[in-house]
Chains A and B, each alone.
Chain A
């Protein structure tokens, strides 16, 4: 039976495409479904909100995609993000309050230092995994605790507030503001319009879209078109073969965990821009687990060697649409977890039934 099904799917291009991209099909299905059940679901504003609010999750999923393809897992991304966020927040706050530097310089220095700091946990977990053969689960679980503790120490347990307004103007800004009669404005409201009048304007293409689009484009290029990406797949597929063909596997694994932490660091900096404060990551957020879930729903295998970046992003969107659609349709929010759980199990079942499709 299973063999027959595999054969039928193998023979039809359309069925094959559907089976390969079942998560995308589900996404379309849910968008159509919620358009009927939820009032206000089907609107540009709502769709923009869904994507804007899942940008952080996209960073997480992108980081996990690289790690999972190489056959590992990174549990520390959520707290590395928090560390990066409070580091950026604290530095921007200190420089800004000193009054010696312009806003732009404060933000730039804070962001760059936070990104550099975020590389450190990745370097440490990478060395533990590659040189000392610590299982990735344990090594990154160690970093999970350490980065969280350090982040909380830096901010003394409170979000880092009173940062420049320019941050949220960028992080929550839009590319296009439009109002009948006053024409189109790019990147900011027209002069003299108060913030409470913002709802009168049609706002299109959040700046966060452009940021995440560039990040995904670059990361996808690295994964698909460079030797770095090719070796990542090879290590996940057969580490022994990678070693024997002369790939420096230890060095590569360290690089992968540094990249993962760096992407998490970018999420942290973005978080400062989006919220206007330096946030530590709360324990219940489970960014890393939702990131892993999105990657698996996107068709990656936790055994390594398999996964696609765009599919992981589809996984993020699927979870986000479910959350938003169920909420708008008036379903209690608890069901969201049940739905995500079902999707995960479905993803694994499909992976097991049709291993050759991906």
Chain B
């Protein structure tokens, strides 16, 4: 299967330290790839290159099989690569639909000259996208502060989807959630997969990884040391790859 987003020999150095060393990595549409590794293994650096936060020092990023230049977060967003960070980047003092439209508000003209916020349009669109993703939130006019962790995660995800994400990068989406909310988020990931998104999931929770991932990539000391299909592997094998007690090619 051809990859939607792919890296070839991608490299990042910080001074003398090689944080990511010639990594070949890719995700297909409708596939969830879990990216695992110990702290400092280079996971975050790898996804930050894909999302445009760090420019790469060597190698290429391919989108739909073509080499693309991703140097800033704006480049990534324009290509449909959306990243959901651990802190979600929501303005908690604003309501749900304002957050979905934050920075890209829909305005309408009043009296022909004044641009005013089109609240009803944004509300309706937000209702639509939440319905499409089967997300239930009490009221879209409530401030995000009043929502649970799982609901906030859902808001952040639906924002990405609304703005036409093709590749979704999720950094520890379940880290700060209760058990029931973790399940909500994982269900959402599964439904996004059915919508044909390419999803990169960074997680330390082995249980989550085995529940939703199709493929598991393991990084250690800046290199990709394992690329395993989930149904052919076990937790033990993955853990041993992460800590480096056994070499599997």
Contacts and interface: CB of A to CB of B under 8 A. Distances in A.
Interface of A: 221, 225-227, 230-231, 233-234, 236-238, 240-242, 244-247, 305-306, 355-356
Interface in B103-122: 103-105, 107, 114-117
B77 interface: yes
A237 B88 CA distance: 13
Contacts of A355: 145
Contacts of A233: 91, 93-94
Nearest to B119: A225
A235 to B, nearest CB: 8
11 contacts: A226-B107, A234-B103, A241-B88, A241-B89, A241-B91, A245-B103, A245-B104, A246-B77, A246-B104, A305-B91, A356-B146
B98 interface: yes
A226 B145 CA distance: 22
A306 to B, nearest CB: 6
Interface centre among A225, A231, A241 (most CB of B within 10 A): A241
Given A233-B94, A241-B102, A242-B102, A227 B107 contact: yes
Interface in B80-99: 85, 87-94, 98
Interface in B55-76: 73-74
Contacts of A227: 105, 107, 115, 117
B115 A247 contact: no
B93 A236 contact: yes
B87 A245 contact: no
B230 to A, nearest CB: 31
Contacts of A241: 88-91, 102
Contacts of B85: 244
B116 A246 contact: no
Contacts of A221: 114, 116
Nearest to A238: B91
B74 A246 contact: yes
A238 B114 CA distance: 27
Contacts of A240: 87, 89
Contacts of A230: 94, 98, 102, 105, 117
A46 B92 CA distance: 43
B139 to A, nearest CB: 13
A34 B104 CA distance: 50
Nearest to B102: A245
A244 B51 CA distance: 12
A264 to B, nearest CB: 24
Contacts of B102: 230, 234, 241-242, 245, 247
Contacts of B114: 221
B117 A242 contact: no
Contacts of A245: 89, 102-104
A231 B90 CA distance: 13
Contact of A242 (B103, B105, B143): B103
